[in-house]
Amino acid sequence: MRILLPCLATLILNAQAPVPLGRMTVQPLVDGTLSLEASLLKDIPPAEAVGLLGGRKAASTPVNAFLVRMPGRTLLVDTGMGKDPDVDSGHLLTQLAAAGLKPDQVDMVLITHFHFDHVGGLLRPDGTRAFPRAKLCVSRTEHDQWTTKAGLPERLWDRIPKVKAIFAAYGKDVTLLGDGATPAEGVTALAAPGHTAGHMVFAFRSEGKELWCIGDLIHFGAVQFARPKTGIVYDLDGERAVASRLDFFRRAAAAQAVLAGAHLPKLVRIVPEGEGYRTVNVD
Ligand SMILES: [Zn+2]
């Protein structure tokens, strides 16, 4: 295993090529990887889940941020985990550099929700801003929940100081978003509640092309596209998460939107098939 680690590091240093969509480009920046056990899935027979995972009981899952370049504007969706000594993580800024950008060239950071693997890269280890010039756009619902604790599970309370430190560091550059807000031209914030109360999807449009950064609307690509009613224990409100997933998948298929999931290994479009969808990779 120790011998393999340098190889993995080398792979991660190479950012994936940007994918053009109209006048914008999107590029996954892999901050790290997590192993997710199939037993985290709900409402699916375990044998069926393992079967859809090709016989594996766990899936090695990327933690993605997405670099979106639009005319005159550079945006980032989510920021990965930051450096965690226990897992392969904290590669976001290296990936950004491999894409030819310095942190102060990022104009806006959009956050799908406040779980640690999405906000972990907003601050440097010394507590200063990782993106010194960027506007920080987050769901108002998510912000209010994390700052008042209302409806926030007690198991997450110990993370509140970290979230408050983020808001303090970004200060006047924080913008709170409601459903349908347009933080920038060609970008719409859409409420997609369930995984968390304020979980959001960000829809980017350019010349008729659609890119939807869907955060944690889905964790197991090999299972939950084919069986979208399958939940995961991380969903705060399982029923709402399923309803959001079904709604966004139906609309994404109709719009032929490119889906960028925080834990999906590929950019994909989806096509209805059986009780769910099949994926078509977008390279
Ligand atoms: Zn996540």
Q: What is the mean pLDDT for each group of 10 consecutive residues in the chain (283 residues)?
A: 43 72 97 92 90 90 97 97 89 96 98 96 96 98 92 90 95 98 98 97 97 97 95 94 98 98 96 96 92
**CA–CA separation, 59 and 143 (whole Å):** 31
Q: Measured in angstroms, how far is the CA atom of residue 8 from the centroid of ligand 1?
A: 21
Q: Measured in angstroms, how far is the CA atom of residue 13 from the centroid of ligand 1?
A: 21
Output the pLDDT for position 269.
98
Range of the domain at 211: 22-281
Q: Measured in angstroms, how far is the CA atom of residue 262 from the centroid of ligand 1?
A: 6
Q: Measured in angstroms, how far is the CA atom of residue 5 from the centroid of ligand 1?
A: 23
Residue 8 lies inside a defined structural domain of this protein: no
Residue 16 lies inside a defined structural domain of this protein: no
Query: What is the torsion angle, in degrees rounded to the nearest 10, for the CA atoms of residue 132, residue 135, residue 141 and residue 142?
Result: -30
Q: Measured in angstroms, how far is the CA atom of residue 159 from the centroid of ligand 1?
A: 15
CATH number at residue 108: 3.60.15.10
Output the pLDDT for position 7.
45
Q: Measured in angstroms, how far is the CA atom of residue 200 from the centroid of ligand 1?
A: 12
Strands 135-139 and 108-110: parallel
**CA–CA separation, 222 and 268 (whole Å):** 12
Q: Measured in angstroms, how far is the CA atom of residue 169 from the centroid of ligand 1?
A: 22
Exposed, middle or buried by CB within 10 Å (0-12, 13-18, 19+), for 241?
buried
Strands 268-273 and 200-206: unpaired
Q: How many folded domains does the chain comprise?
A: 1
Output the pLDDT for position 10.
42
Q: Measured in angstroms, how far is the CA atom of residue 61 from the centroid of ligand 1?
A: 10
Residue 9 lies inside a defined structural domain of this protein: no
Output the pLDDT for position 14.
56
Residue 236 lies inside a defined structural domain of this protein: yes
Output the pLDDT for position 15.
62
Q: Measured in angstroms, how far is the CA atom of residue 48 from the centroid of ligand 1?
A: 23
Residue 7 lies inside a defined structural domain of this protein: no
Q: Measured in angstroms, how far is the CA atom of residue 34 from the centroid of ligand 1?
A: 10
Residue 169 lies inside a defined structural domain of this protein: yes
What burial letters (b/e) apply to 5-30, b meaning 16+ CB within 10 Å? eeeeeeebeebbebbebbebbbbbbb
Residue 5 lies inside a defined structural domain of this protein: no
Residue 13 lies inside a defined structural domain of this protein: no
User: Which residues have CB atoms below 5 A from the ion given as ligand 1?
Assistant: 117, 216, 262
Output the pLDDT for position 229.
96
Q: Measured in angstroms, how far is the CA atom of residue 78 from the centroid of ligand 1?
A: 9
